[in-house]
Structure 1
Amino acid sequence: MDRRSFLAASAATLLTPRTTRTLATDPFTLGVASGDPSADGFVLWTRLAADPLSGDGRGGMPSRDVDVEWQVAADERFSTVVRSGTAAARPGAAHSVHVEVAGLEPGRDYFYRFRSEGRVSPAGRTRTASAGEAPLTFAVAACAHYEHGYYGAYRRLAEQEPELVVFLGDYMYEYAPSGYTALAGRVRTHSPGKCETLADYRLRHAQYKSDPDLQAAHAVAPWLAAFDDHEIENNWAGDVSSTGAAGFTRRRADAFRAYYENMPLRRGSLQGAVLRVNRRVSWGTLARFHLLDTRQFRDDQACLDGVRAGCDERLDARRTLLGAGQWRWLEEGLRGSGTRWNLLGQQIMMAQRDYKVGPGREVNLDSWDGYAAERTRLLGSLAGTSNPVVLTGDAHMHHLAELKTDFDDPDAPVVARELVTTSIASDGDGYRDRTWIAEALQENPHISFIDQRRGYLMARLTRDELSVDFRTLDYISRKGAPARTAHRVTIPASERPPSQAARDAAAAHAGPPGRD
Structure 2
Amino acid sequence: MAVTRRTFVLGLAGTALVPRSPAYPFRLGVASGDPAPDSVVLWTRLAPSPLDADGQGGMPHADVPVDWQIATSPTFGKVVTSGTVQARYADAHTVHVVANGLRPDAEYYYRFRARGHVSATGRTLTTPAFDARGRDLTMLFACCSNLESGYFTAYRRMAEEHADLILHLGDYIYEGAAKPNVVRPHLGREILTLPDYRRRYGQYKMDPDLQAAHAVAPWVVVPDDHDVEDDYSGVFRFDDLPPLTPAQWVTRRTAAYRAYYEHLPLRPASAPVGNSIQLYRRLYWGRLATFHMLDTRQFRSRLACAGGWKVCREADQPRRSITGAAQEAWLLDGFAEHHGTWDILGQQVFFAGRLDPTGVGNMDAWDGYRASRARIQRGWQDRRVRNPVVLTGDIHTAWANDLKADYTDERSPTVGTELICTSLTSRGDGTPDTAVPGQATNPHLRFYSDRRGYCRARITPAQLTADFRTLDFVKLPGAPVTTLKSFAIPDGRPGLHPL
Instruction: Answer whether TM exceeds 0.5 for this pair.
Output: yes
**C-alpha separation between the residues in 2 aligned to 1:421 and 1:253?**
28
Equivalent residues of 2:303, 2:364 under 8 A apart: yes
1:173-322 aligned at under 5 Å gives the runs: 173-178=174-179, 186-244=182-240, 245-246=244-245, 247-272=248-273, 273-308=275-310, 310-322=311-323
Match of 2:488 among 487, 490, 508: 490
**C-alpha separation between the residues in 2 aligned to 1:147 and 1:365?**
26
1:310-459 aligned at under 5 Å gives the runs: 310-354=311-355, 356=356, 359-383=357-381, 384-431=384-431, 434=433, 437-459=435-457
Aligned to 1:98: 96
* Residue 312 of structure 1: how far off its partner (Å): 0.6
Aligned to 2:136: 135
Equivalent residues of 1:11, 1:113 under 8 A apart: no
* Residue 275 of structure 1: how far off its partner (Å): 1.1
Aligned to 1:510: none
**C-alpha separation between the residues in 1 aligned to 2:351 and 2:412?**
16
List gaps (5 residues or longer) in structure 1: 1-9, 497-516
**C-alpha separation between the residues in 2 aligned to 1:259 and 1:15?**
33
Aligned to 2:112: 114
**C-alpha separation between the residues in 1 aligned to 2:425 and 2:447?**
20
Match of 1:35 among 19, 33, 37: 33
2:169 equivalent to 1:168:
yes
* Residue 410 of structure 1: how far off its partner (Å): 1.4
**C-alpha separation between the residues in 2 aligned to 1:443 and 1:78?**
58
After superposition, give the CA deviation of every residue in 1:445-498 in whole Å (9 maximum; x if it has no partner): 1011000100000111001000110000000000111000000001100189xx
**C-alpha separation between the residues in 2 aligned to 1:442 and 1:478?**
35
* Residue 14 of structure 1: how far off its partner (Å): 3.1
SS of 2:155 mapped into structure 1: helix
What amino acid is the match of 2:412?
A
Identity of aligned residues (%): 46
| Inter-CA distance 190–13: structure 2 relative to 1 (3 Å threshold) | farther
SS of 1:99 mapped into structure 2: strand
Aligned to 2:86: 88
* Residue 88 of structure 1: how far off its partner (Å): 0.3
List gaps (5 residues or longer) in structure 2: 1-6, 495-499
**C-alpha separation between the residues in 1 aligned to 2:463 and 2:31?**
29
1:494-513 aligned at under 5 Å gives the runs: 494=492
Equivalent residues of 1:197, 1:251 under 8 A apart: yes
* Residue 352 of structure 1: how far off its partner (Å): 1.1
| Inter-CA distance 12–187: structure 2 relative to 1 (3 Å threshold) | farther
| Inter-CA distance 343–83: structure 2 relative to 1 (3 Å threshold) | same
Q: 238-247 or 129-138, which moves further after superposition? A: 238-247
Aligned to 2:11: 14
After superposition, give the CA deviation of every residue in 1:268-317 in whole Å (9 maximum; x if it has no partner): 21241211110000000101000000011111000110111x21111111
SS of 1:442 mapped into structure 2: coil
| Inter-CA distance 495–155: structure 2 relative to 1 (3 Å threshold) | closer
* Residue 407 of structure 1: how far off its partner (Å): 0.5
Equivalent residues of 1:339, 1:386 under 8 A apart: no
Aligned to 2:3: none
After superposition, give the CA deviation of every residue in 1:30-58 in whole Å (9 maximum; x if it has no partner): 00000000011110000000101111111
What amino acid is the match of 1:207?
Q
* Residue 243 of structure 1: how far off its partner (Å): 2.2
Aligned to 1:500: none
**C-alpha separation between the residues in 1 aligned to 2:420 and 2:316?**
23
**C-alpha separation between the residues in 2 aligned to 1:271 and 1:125?**
27
* Residue 24 of structure 1: how far off its partner (Å): 4.9
After superposition, give the CA deviation of every residue in 1:65-86 in whole Å (9 maximum; x if it has no partner): 0010000001111001001000
What amino acid is the match of 1:169?
G
How many pairs align? 472
Aligned to 1:474: 472
1:26-65 aligned at under 5 Å gives the runs: 26-65=24-63
Equivalent residues of 2:453, 2:471 under 8 A apart: yes
What amino acid is the match of 2:489?
I
Equivalent residues of 2:257, 2:272 under 8 A apart: no
SS of 2:192 mapped into structure 1: coil
- TM-score normalized by the length of structure 2: 0.92
* Residue 16 of structure 1: how far off its partner (Å): 5.5
After superposition, give the CA deviation of every residue in 1:113-159 in whole Å (9 maximum; x if it has no partner): 00000000000000000122210000010000000000000000110
* Residue 439 of structure 1: how far off its partner (Å): 4.5
What amino acid is the match of 1:124?
G
**C-alpha separation between the residues in 2 aligned to 1:287 and 1:460?**
11
Equivalent residues of 1:12, 1:121 under 8 A apart: no
**C-alpha separation between the residues in 1 aligned to 2:437 and 2:279?**
36
SS of 1:201 mapped into structure 2: helix
Equivalent residues of 2:436, 2:445 under 8 A apart: no
What amino acid is the match of 2:424?
I
